[in-house]
Amino acid sequence: MNVQLGEIVAACQAAGVPLEGEVPADWPVTGVAAVQSCGPGDLVFADKAALLAYVLERKPAVVIAARNLRDALTSLAPVTLALFTSNVALAHAIIKQRYAARNYSAADWEGPVHPSAVVHPTASIDPSATVEPRVVIGRNTRIGPRARIMSGAVIEHDVVIGSDTVVHPNAVVGYGCMLGNEVVIGAGSIIGSEGFGFAQDAQRRSHPIPQTGRVVIGDRVRVGANNTIDRATYAETRIGSGTKFDNLCHVAHNVDIGEDCLLTAMFCIAGSSQVGNRVIASGQTGIIDHVKVCDDVVLVHRAGVVKDIDQPGAHASLPTQPLDDYLRNTAAARKNAELRKRVAELEKALAAASR
């Protein structure tokens, strides 16, 4: 990396994250680094005062800092240039995506379609896409511009994969599924796995109900490593644009998840449930089947959703309750032993007084 700071500032401005401060005409940046390990020439980020000591000690070329740190950084010039923003994390995301993200081409596989890949003759692969070693691509599959299918991935028949989408090693995209643009499927994840649908007879033997629907994933979705998203029984399991899954999440058949959700590790949702837009779920959140969660809900403290949530806000515990109620109830529960002891003492005193 070797770019002028003015180019970086212009890129942030175009993305809606203006950087405040004077930008010299010639101010090179040679890397993006963590503030704790940076060196001369690097661009770093500081969103809290505790990081300023590293900036002063290591003297990077540029620090992008929170506005409330402006006074503390006035003494940096002329070695380090300070720029300020109201959203350091977003500036970090935009700059690192553009200038310091993973270089997939560094793997340097022969291609664009590696000779060891098995590609059905009816598959359509854009010339700008990359297919790495030992990939399997099925009949009538369509892979869009600049997509990358990494080593060992299996793309079954009749799949549609959009532009700039990356399928990581050993992932599987099942037949008939559709992935939008700029989707990331993590290593070992399975899109379009068989939904869990069975009927039982009088002897309690389980008979499978074939799951013949598909999974449809919108644009800019990130599916972490070792996720499973089950295909629908008949229609579609849907994941809305912009939603991000952590590792080790499970989505059952016929689920509909909205846009721009953040769903962290071990999130699990049962069949035919619906999740609105901008829902956040902390680790080990569970949602049973056939319930609805409205927009702008935050699920915390291993939330277990067993009925509809129709009010935005934070909800916690099993069964879920508004976070303020949960905190009050938890505080009260801590006093149960003391209260039981006091009640027992009162009962003894009443019994003695009645003799």
Whether the predicted pLDDT of 165 surpasses 80: yes
Classify the C-alpha dihedral 326-264-99-165 as positive or negative. Answer: negative
What average pLDDT does range 306-334 have in this prediction? 83
Closest CA to 177 of 155, 153, 146: 155
- Cα 193 from chain centre: 20
- Rounded (10°) angle between helices 5-14 and 88-99: 120
Whether the predicted pLDDT of 336 surpasses 80: no
Kindly list the distances between the CA atom of residue 171 and the CA atoms of 1, 98, 231, in Å, as whole numbers in the listed order. Answer: 31, 26, 15
pLDDT tens readout for residues 258-293:
999 999 999 999 999 999 999 999 999 999 999 999
pLDDT tens readout for residues 108-124:
998 899 999 999 999 99
Looking at residue 132, its pLDDT comes to 98
Confidence of residue 332 (pLDDT cuts 50, 70, 90): low
pLDDT tens readout for residues 14-40:
999 999 998 998 999 999 999 999 999
Looking at residue 327, its pLDDT comes to 75
Q: Is 169 exposed, middle or buried (0-12, 13-18, 19+ CB in 10 A)?
A: middle
pLDDT tens readout for residues 183-197:
999 999 999 999 999
Whose tokens are 């006093």? That residue is 335
Percent of the chain with pLDDT over 70: 99
Whether the predicted pLDDT of 341 surpasses 70: yes
Looking at residue 100, its pLDDT comes to 94
Strands 28-29 and 3-4: antiparallel
Rounded (10°) CA dihedral 41, 44, 50, 54: -20
261 and 282 Cβ atoms separated by less than 8 Å: no
219 and 241 Cβ atoms separated by less than 8 Å: yes
Longest dimension (CA), the chain: 96
Whether the predicted pLDDT of 144 surpasses 90: yes
Q: Any idea which residues carry the catalytic annotation? A: 253
pLDDT tens readout for residues 199-250:
999 999 999 999 999 999 999 999 999 999 999 999 999 999 999 999 999 9
Domains of the chain: 3-99 (3.40.1390.10), 106-329 (2.160.10.10)
Query: Which amino acid does the sequence have at 200?
Result: Q
Confidence of residue 294 (pLDDT cuts 50, 70, 90): very high
Q: Please name every residue paired with 156 in a beta bridge, in sequence order, or none if there are none.
A: none
In this structure, what token pair is assigned to residue 74? 């006035």
